[in-house]
Amino acid sequence: MGILAYRGVSKRFGQHTALEGVSLEVAPGEVFGLLGPNGAGKTTLIRIGLDILRADEGEVLLFGAAPSPTALDRTAYLPEERGVYRRAKVRELLTYLGRLKGLKRAAARKAGDHWLERVGLSRVADQRVESLSKGMTQKVQIAACLMTDPELCVLDEPFSGLDPVNVALVTDLIEERRAGGRTTVLSTHMMHQVEALCDRVALIHRGNLVVYGPLDEIRRRYSPHEVIVWTAMDLAAHGVRATQYKAGGWRVELPPNATPAGYLHELVQNGVLIDRYEPLVARMEEIFVSLVGGGR
């Protein structure tokens, strides 16, 4: 049973269909990537899962049952549209949000201080939120999401406004959650972060689920039937139809019935000295663009 499951979920706003029969599950302990162009229906799907919106058709299960206040207390949500009490002081804000999740005041303050230290913001604990930069404000909201150690955390564009150092920090925090058996749904347009973090992904386009499954399997499924051969030799001299890939590398399209392992054996048999050899695996950015096309 998934932590969060959608079964045939549809949602319409007037004449606009935001979601059409979407079915997927988020498994315990994974980082699940929710992908799609702007307006694809991702945010609607998230909000239905967290009982902010109700589906017109279909069913949502959160921790194996219909969403309830008790189940929602086990979750945290970072929406793409940022919203904090800008005139509140940072420590006071985190304490307040911790108490909304059921912590006593002392425990909420302690957890808030701990997470401000984790995200490198202890020095601004007594400043008002409105005095912070966009990136610092983003880290305050991430701290607010993680401070109660939620079993399910939904992060919508968590890397927005962050510099590379803080992108790495948030990446580490997400990986720590997975190592601790916690579940994270990550919605982002940063495809390299998807490749670095996600176990499984779903791609939503125009309200429909167009790709769903393990990340590695999806990348292999959409990869060309090609390999990269790293060698100092001229492959053309050995009768191989190849194009230069990078310095020392050649891009080779495999014969229709060849396997990467079989073709490697054939090259070695033909006297090619190979430094490195690897199947060409499609990047998620390439897959994303090929599937959504101009319908962003």
Lowest mean pLDDT among 4-8, 43-47, 56-60, 219-223: 219-223
In the numeric block, the tokens 């604990």 are attached to: 125
User: Is the model's pLDDT at 288 over the cut of 50?
Assistant: yes
Residue 229 and residue 211 in one domain: no
What is the rounded CA–CA span in Å between residue 72 and residue 51?
Answer: 8
- 134 occurs within a structural domain: yes
Neighbours of 54 (CB within 10 A): 10
- 288 occurs within a structural domain: no
Residue 195 and residue 235 in one domain: no
Query: What band does 248 get if pLDDT is binned at 50, 70 and 90?
Result: confident
State the DSSP code for 260: H
What is the rounded CA–CA span in Å between residue 29 and residue 128?
Answer: 35
- Which residues constitute the domain of residue 138? 85-143
Give the tens place of pLDDT for each residue, 130-157. Answer: 999 999 999 999 999 999 999 999 999 9
Query: What band does 296 get if pLDDT is binned at 50, 70 and 90?
Result: very low
Residue 137 and residue 173 in one domain: no
Residue 117 and residue 260 in one domain: no
Total domains in the chain come to 3
